[in-house]
Structure 1
């Protein structure tokens, strides 16, 4: 059998996606069942009760391949990333109509400003709007969301750095994908996806996004800078915007300063080591 990247291969030995029959070994091959995340956030782990690899947001679609002992193994339809989530975080599939385009938003019990909100959901979450009250929209859970925090499902931003800037000050969290906590590749993914670009989850996978810059090409806003284990976006020719363990937050930093610090990182104090290994330019669709 050919070796496949387990991060994007929907197979765990017990079961595999039906399209992998003859390619990977499994006890059974299944079509899988698409379900929707019903929690504000849920960890996507490398094993049941394992380490967090990523997170899924409210309203995201997750293809369940295998389910046992309270955990569902499957694949995120957003980026193809595979792993385990708590089964109780999932519900039946529901088609979304809008997505949250603010860093976070509250779910209000009534469509009134002073109604005490019950919970928050985060940028990129998907919802199904059932009625429009003007300043608020009612969603399928019965909650209300400020209209200004939502965009139609197909709406997109045009500036990846502008999107990433909305996460400024967000705590650094390994595997994080939201305003509650985010890591370097999660920030890049959120920014690119919001601008209509397909983007995988991890920094090594993201080295295939856009085109590689020629050595003599000057950097510009939106370019991606890669180290071994780290990635950030250029806000201009000299300044990096990145989620990093040095600041333990999303922060702006002179590229020269970040480059020197990461090159000196030999004790694993933060993600990223060595010198810059690649510079790439995402190409936004017109």
Structure 2
């Protein structure tokens, strides 16, 4: 199965091979994937390396790579809100948190050179101290279904990306993330950085956020925002209305 790497800043991952189809997630520059079906009009069925998410992307957003690059670990990341690399001599603007495999293997026909704002990457040894500064970079980012960058994110894309920058793997959707980590029994026992999950009236987990403490949560709802939380769930800081019903809390570090 051919392997590939994303060569555009943000690549939509769609549910069907059509630009009109729902965007279910995104891949950012440098993310690797396995390719499956290729249609005559240039759509490719892919499986993301990081979280196993599957969807359709356009062939022009990809470059074929060898196994050595696919297997390599990230070496650099975008450490500010946006930074620039050059791809075959042309600038590419990358969002905060993008992880890159620079000098780790052959990018096929692509030549990538890092610019300012690209720094060495390694998983943090103290995520409990580092996560808040990362999460706060996303404040006021607009909500975008399927998004996972500072230019637009959904709730689980936000949590996944924050944890990814810390070197802690999370799956893509809220209900998948809820199956990871250890359960925290009571809100009063939380540690900063724990994940809180919320369900709909049918009992399906549909929302996730990161707890600042036992009284506040940062989450993507309309935009990335900080709201009060209690044992029942989230209360809007703007309107005082209850917006989400608390289902469970998980700890991953």
Interval containing the TM-score (normalised by the shorter chain): 0.7 to 0.9
Tell me the SS of whatever aligns to 2:142. Answer: coil
Q: Is the 8 A contact 2:75 2:99 kept in 1?
A: no
1:43 to 12, 32, 42: 12
Q: After TM superposition, list the pairs within 5 Å mapping 1:185-224 onto structure 2.
A: 185-215=156-186, 217-224=188-195
2:3 corresponds in structure 1 to 34
1:120 corresponds in structure 2 to 93
Unaligned runs of 5+ in 1: 1-31, 110-116, 131-139, 266-272
CA distance in 1, matches of 2:103, 2:150: 22
Residues 204 and 264 of structure 1: CA distance in aligned 2, closer, same or farther (over 3 Å): farther
The answer as to 2:214 corresponding to 1:237 is: yes
Normalised TM-score (structure 1) = 0.70
The answer as to 2:120 corresponding to 1:151 is: yes
CA distance in 1, matches of 2:188, 2:114: 48
1:7 corresponds in structure 2 to none
2:203 corresponds in structure 1 to none
Q: Is the 8 A contact 2:6 2:30 kept in 1?
A: yes
CA distance in 1, matches of 2:59, 2:244: 40
Per-residue deviation at 1:87? 1.0
Q: After TM superposition, list the pairs within 5 Å mapping 1:1-286 onto structure 2.
A: 32-49=1-18, 50-68=21-39, 69-93=41-65, 95=69, 97-107=75-85, 118-122=91-95, 123-129=97-103, 141-146=111-116, 148-152=117-121, 154-156=122-124, 158=127, 159-215=130-186, 217-228=188-199, 229-245=206-222, 249-256=223-230, 259-260=234-235, 275-283=245-253
Q: Is the 8 A contact 1:42 1:89 kept in 2?
A: yes
Tell me the SS of whatever aligns to 1:56. Answer: strand
The higher relative CO (CA closer than 8 Å, separation ≥ 6) is in 2
CA distance in 2, matches of 1:274, 1:170: 19
Per-residue deviation at 1:208? 1.6
CA distance in 2, matches of 1:254, 1:216: 12
Normalised TM-score (structure 2) = 0.79
Residues 169 and 274 of structure 1: CA distance in aligned 2, closer, same or farther (over 3 Å): closer
Per-residue deviation at 1:129? 4.5
Q: Is the 8 A contact 1:102 1:150 kept in 2?
A: no
Residues 163 and 97 of structure 1: CA distance in aligned 2, closer, same or farther (over 3 Å): same
Q: Is the 8 A contact 1:42 1:56 kept in 2?
A: yes
Unaligned runs of 5+ in 2: 105-109, 200-205
